[in-house]
Chain A
Amino acid sequence: MKKLLALILAAVMALSMVAVASADNNVNAEGYQFPDYSGKKMSIMWWGSDTRAKMTIEMIELYEQLTGLDIEYEFYDGGSYWTQFQAKMASDSLPDVFQMGNNWLTYYDTIQPLNEYIENGTIDTSAISEAMLATTKNQANGDITGMSNGTNARCFAYNPAIFDACGVAYPTDNWTWDDFAAACRTIHEKTGNPAVTTLEYNSLAFSVVTQWKEGYNFYSMDGTSFAFNGDVEPLAYIFDLLTTLQKEGCIADYGIQNEIGTNVEADWIAFGDAAIMMLSSNQFQALSNVAKENGITLELCTIPRVHADGQSGMVVRSSQEMCIYKKSENKEIAANFINFFVNSIAANKILNCERGVSINSDVLAALKADPEKTDEVTGKVYTIIAKIGSFPDTANSSPAEPAANEKISDTLKKTYFQGLAEGKFASAQEAAEKFWEEAQAIWAEYEAQ
C-alpha cells in the first residue's frame, strides 16, 4: 500500500513539474524560478544617454544576481554606436543581445527572428497586444525582428516660462507651422537667443509630406518603396520655412546644432538659452533631469501641422528593440534575458520607460500606479504618447526606415537644407526638385546592391 502511495505521489510530482515547464515564462509570477546560469556568459550592447546607461547597468546587475549569469556590457552614444556595430558586424563579433532601431532592414542579416522563442514560450507575450508586437514585425515575411523596448514618437519640447515671458501662447495640439514661425520670431526678438535649437530635418520633411494632403507619405508603410508621388510642394514649403527662420536667427545655425549633436543632455533648452527643440518622447526624461538642475520645467507638445484641421504627420512607433544576434552561441540565454527585460515589473521599475512606453500592459499599469516611478515627467511622456496615439490619422504615417534612408536623410540635411542656407540653390523649389531626383538615384543605388 505504501509503495503504491509513494508511486502515485511521485507521478503527481512529475506531472506537476511538467505542467510548470510548459507554462509561459512569466517572470512576474509568484514563486517564479529563474534559470541557473552560473558560470555562463552573455554580452550586450546599447546606445543612449548617461541616464540610460546607469539604469540599464542597474537592471543588468539585478539579473546577474537572480540567475548567476555573467553579463558583459558595452554602451555608446547614438552616433558612435553604429560605427562600432558595423565594425563588429564585419568581424562577426557582435554581442549576443544588441539594441536596434527602426533601421533593422539594413542589418537584417545579423538578426535572429524571435518567432520560435515566442511560440515556445521563452519570451512571454501574454501581456503584449498584437498591435504592439507588430511594431517590430517584418511585414513582408512575418519575422519578429526583436522585442520592442517601448513606443515613442517624435515631438517638440518647450519651455513655458520663456513663452510666458515673451507673451506667446503655448503650442496647442494642432498648432500650425505659421504659429510656430510667429512664436519663434517673437521669442528671438525678445530674448536675443535662438528660439529653437535641435531639429530633426529629415523626419520633419517627411512629416510635412504626410501632413500636406491625405494619402501623402514619403516612404510606403512597409518600407519597400517610395510612396512619394513627386509633388515637391510640401518639401519646398518646409525648406523655405525653416531656412528663412534660420537666416533670421530664430533657429540655431548648423554649427550650434552640430555642437549639441545627438547629446540631448547638452541641448540649450535645458540651460534656458532656447525655448523649443525636437526630440523623441523617450529622451524627455534625460533632458528634464538636466533642466531640473537649472530650475527649468519643460513640457511636451506636438509637431506643428500644415493645416490646423489636417493630418498630424505624427506616428507612434517602436522606439528601439532588443535583438538576438543570428550567430550567437547563447541564444537561449539571450531570449530569457530579453524576456526579463521586456516583461519583468521589477526590471522595468528600474528602467522606468526611459527607452519608450512599455509595450507590456501589466508593466505599464504597474508603473503608472506607482507614484514614485510615475512622476510629473514620465506622466507627461505617457500623456503625449496617448494623445498622439489617439489622432485618427497616425495610421497613415509611415514609420518605415528603409536601407536607403540613412543616405537619403543625410543628403537631405547636408546637401539640401544646409546648401539652401548657404545660398547654393536659387530657391526652395529648386532644392526640393533636385532633392527628389537625388533621392530616387540613391534608392536605385541601393536596389542594385
Chain B
Amino acid sequence: MQKAARKPMTLRAFINHDNTVGYLFALPFLIGFLWLTIYPMGLSLYYSFCNYKIASTPEWIGLNNYITLFQDEKFGRSLLVTIQYVAIGVPLKLIFALLVAMLLTRPTRLQGFYRAIYYIPSLIGGSVAVALVWKQLFGSRGPIVTLIKGMGATGFNFFGNSTWAFLPLVLCNAWQFGSSMLIFASGLKQIPKDYYEASEIDGAGAVKRFFSITLPCLSPIILFNLIMQLISGFMTFTQAQIITQGGPNYATNYIALNIFTEGFAYSHMGYACAQSWVMLLIMAAITGIIFKTSSSWTFYEN
C-alpha cells in the first residue's frame, strides 16, 4: 500500500483543524498560566537560592536559606500551628458539609433557598470584611466572650490566650463549608436508591446504612473535598492576618502569614521564597500520601 503524499496544509485547513481550534481556545488560559503562574514560580525558585531584598539585585547564596530554615524555630512553630489548624479545621468543615448536605437531600419546598443560604458564607467568608466582623464577634467585648464570662470564666479572652486563639479561626474556616456541601449534595444524589431499599429490606438501621452505603459511595467525593480543603487550609492567610496578626506568641502564625511577614515586613524575600517552596513540598507530600492510601478506602462504582 502506498503512503499518500502529505500535502502541506492550506491556511484555511490549518485554522479549522481541531488541534488549532483547541489551542486557540486554550490560549487565554495558557498565557495566564505561563506568565502569571509558571514564570513567577520559576522566579521564586531562583530567589529562594538568593539573598533578595525587594528593589535590589538578588545575589546567589546557594542553599543558605534552606539551611537557615531548618534551624528556624519560628518556622517550625509556624508549621506546627498550621498543621494543628488543618487537622482540626478540615475534618470539622467536611463533617458539617456532609451533615447539612444530608439534611438537605429531602426535597422540601425551600431546599434551593437553604442551599443558597448555606453557600453564601463560602463566597464571602474569605474576605477582609468578614474577618473584621469575626474579630469583633470573638473580641474581648464581643457577644461570645461575654457569654463565656457570664458562665463564670472571668478574664477569658480568645485572642489573648495562645491556647484558644486558634478556635475562632478554625470556626471561621468551618463556617465556609458551603462549597463542600454542594459537592456532597450532588454526590449523595448519585447514590443508587436500590442500595438503600435493599438494605431496608434486610433490616439495616439508619446508622448502619450511613456507614455501609453512604460513606463508601461518597468516598471519591470525600477524597476530592479532602484534598481541596487541605490545600486551601494550608494557604490560610486573610483570617490570620486580620484577626490575630499571628496571634499571641505566634500561636496563629500560619505559614502563609509567616512567609508574608518575612518577605514584606522584614525584607527577606529570598528566605520567604525558600519557605514557600518547602511549604509546597510538604503539601505535595501530604496530598501524595492521601492519594496513595486512597485506593484502600475509596470505592469507585465502575
Complex contacts, A92 vs chain B, CB 8 Å: 55
Complex-state Cα separation, A254 to B31, whole angstroms: 46
Question: Of A86, A87, A259, A445, which is within 8 A of B159 by CB?
Answer: A259
- Is A28 on the interface with B (CB-CB < 8 A)? no
Give Cα A254 to B140, complex, Å.
Answer: 10
Contact indicator B159/A422 (Cβ below 8 Å): no
Chain A residues with CB below 8 A from B157, complex form:
253, 255-256
Contact B267 A249 (CB under 8 A): no
- Whether A259 pairs with B249 at a CB distance below 8 angstroms is no
Residues of B within 8 A of A406 (CB): 265-266
Chain B residues with CB below 8 A from A89, complex form: 54-55
Interface residues of A, dominant DSSP: helix
Known: A258-B244, A415-B249. 11 other contacts (CB 8 A): A83-B264, A89-B54, A89-B55, A90-B54, A255-B161, A258-B245, A258-B248, A407-B266, A414-B246, A422-B162, A445-B268
State whether the Cβ of B53 lies closer than 8 Å to any Cβ in chain A: yes
B140 proximity list for chain A (CB < 8 A):
253, 255-256, 259
Inter-chain contact A419/B265, CB cutoff 8 Å: no
- Residue B126 at the A interface, CB < 8 A? no
Per the CB 8 Å criterion, the residue count for chain B at the interface is: 29
Chain A residues close to B by CB (< 8 Å): 82-83, 86-87, 89-90, 92, 106, 109-110, 249, 253-256, 258-259, 261, 403, 406-407, 410, 414-415, 418-419, 421-422, 424, 445, 448-449
Shortest B283–chain A CB gap in Å is 25
Residues of A within 8 A of B268 (CB): 445
Name the one of A86, A253, A259 contacting B264, with C-beta atoms under 8 angstroms.
A86
Instruction: Check B187 for interface membership: any CB of A closer than 8 A.
Output: no
B108 in contact (CB, < 8 A): no
A90 and B248 contacting across the interface, CB-CB below 8 Å: no
B47–chain A nearest beta-carbon distance, Å: 12
A interface footprint on B216-251 (CB within 8 Å = 1, 0 otherwise): 000000000000000000000000000011101110
List the B side residues contacting A110 at CB < 8 Å.
55
User: What are the residues of chain A within 8 A of B274 when measuring CB–CB?
Assistant: none
Given contacts A255-B157, A255-B160, A259-B139, contact A419 B53 (CB under 8 A): no
User: By the criterion CB–CB under 8 Å, are A255 and B159 in contact?
Assistant: yes
- Given the known inter-chain contacts A406-B265, A410-B265, please indicate yes or no for A255 contacting B56, CB distance below 8 A: no
Interchain CB contact under 8 A, B264 and A254: no
The residue in chain B whose Cβ has the minimal distance to the Cβ of A89 is: B55
Q: Is the CB of A106 within 8 A of B267?
A: yes
25 contacts between A and B (CB under 8 A): A82-B264, A86-B54, A86-B264, A249-B155, A253-B140, A253-B161, A254-B159, A254-B249, A255-B139, A255-B140, A255-B157, A255-B159, A256-B157, A256-B160, A258-B159, A258-B245, A258-B248, A259-B135, A406-B265, A414-B246, A415-B250, A422-B248, A422-B249, A424-B249, A448-B51
B244 contacts A82, CB within 8 Å?
no
Residue in B56, B135, B250, B265 whose CB lies within 8 Å of A82: B265
Question: Chain B contacts of A424 at CB under 8 A?
Answer: 249
| Given A254-B160, A414-B249: A109 touches B51 (CB 8 Å cut-off) | no
Measured between beta carbons, the chain A residues less than 8 angstroms from B161 are: 253, 255
B49 at interface, CB cutoff 8 A: no
B254 within 8 A of A: no
Q: Which residue, A82, A249, A403, A422, has most C-beta atoms of chain B within 10 A?
A: A422
Contacts from B to A (Cβ < 8 Å): 51, 53-56, 74, 135, 139-140, 155, 157-162, 165, 244-246, 248-250, 261, 264-268
Contact of A449 with B53 at beta-carbon distance under 8 Å, contacts A256-B140, A258-B244 already known: yes
A433 to chain B, nearest CB (A): 16
| Contact between chains at A90 and B55 (CB < 8 Å) | yes
Q: How far is the CB of B53 from chain A (nearest CB, A)?
A: 6
Contacts of B265 in A (CB 8 A): 82-83, 406-407, 410
Q: Which of B51, B54, B135, B249 contacts A418 (CB 8 A)?
A: B249
Q: Are B266 and A253 in contact (CB under 8 A)?
A: no
Given contacts A109-B55, A254-B160, A255-B165, contact A414 B264 (CB under 8 A): no
**In angstroms, how far is the closest chain A Cβ from the Cβ of B169?**
13
Q: Which residues does chain B contribute within 8 Å of A415, judged by CB atoms?
A: 74, 249-250
Bound-state Cα–Cα, A261 to B241, Å = 12
Nearest residue (CB) in B for A418 is B249
A92 to B162, CA, bound (A): 39
The answer to whether A109 touches B160, judged by C-beta atoms less than 8 angstroms apart, is no
Closest to B266 in A: A407
Distance between B250 CB and nearest chain A CB, rounded to angstroms: 6
Distance of A62 Cα from B245 Cα, bound (Å): 38
Question: Given the complex, which residues of A lie within 8 Å of B244, measured CB to CB?
Answer: 258
A255→B249 CA distance, assembly (Å):
11
Kindly identify which residue among A82, A249, A419 contacts B249, using a CB–CB cutoff of 8 Å: A419
Question: Is there contact, CB below 8 Å, between B159 and A414?
Answer: no
List the B residue with the shortest CB-CB distance to A87: B264
Please indicate the chain B residues that have their CB under 8 angstroms from the CB of A410 in the complex: 261, 265-266
Of all A-B residue pairs in the complex, the 9 with the closest CB atoms, nearest first, are: A255-B159, A255-B160, A253-B160, A418-B249, A90-B54, A255-B157, A407-B266, A254-B248, A89-B55
A120 to chain B, nearest CB (A): 28
The residue from A261, A419, A449 contacting B51, defined by CB atoms under 8 A apart: A449
- Complex CA–CA separation, A94 to B33 (angstroms): 28
**Which residues from chain A contact B159 at a C-beta distance below 8 Å?**
254-256, 258-259
Q: How far is the CB of A92 from chain B (nearest CB, A)?
A: 8
Contacts of A256 in B (CB 8 A): 140, 157, 159-160
Residue from A259, A403, A414 within 8 A of B250 (CB atoms): A414
Residues of A within 8 A of B250 (CB): 414-415, 418
Q: Is B249 in contact with A421, judged by CB distance below 8 angstroms?
A: yes
The smallest beta-carbon distance between B204 and chain A, in angstroms, is 49
Cα-based distance from A255 to B160 in the complex (angstroms): 4
The docked-state distance in angstroms from the alpha carbon of A424 to that of B246 is 17
- How distant is A226 from chain B, measured CB to nearest CB, in Å? 18
Bound-state Cα–Cα, A449 to B158, Å: 39
| Distance between A193 CB and nearest chain B CB, rounded to angstroms | 11
Known: A83-B264, A255-B158. Is A418-B139 also a contact (CB below 8 A)? Answer: no
Q: B25: shortest Cβ distance to chain A, in Å? A: 31
Indicate if the CB atoms of A255 and B248 lie closer than 8 Å: yes
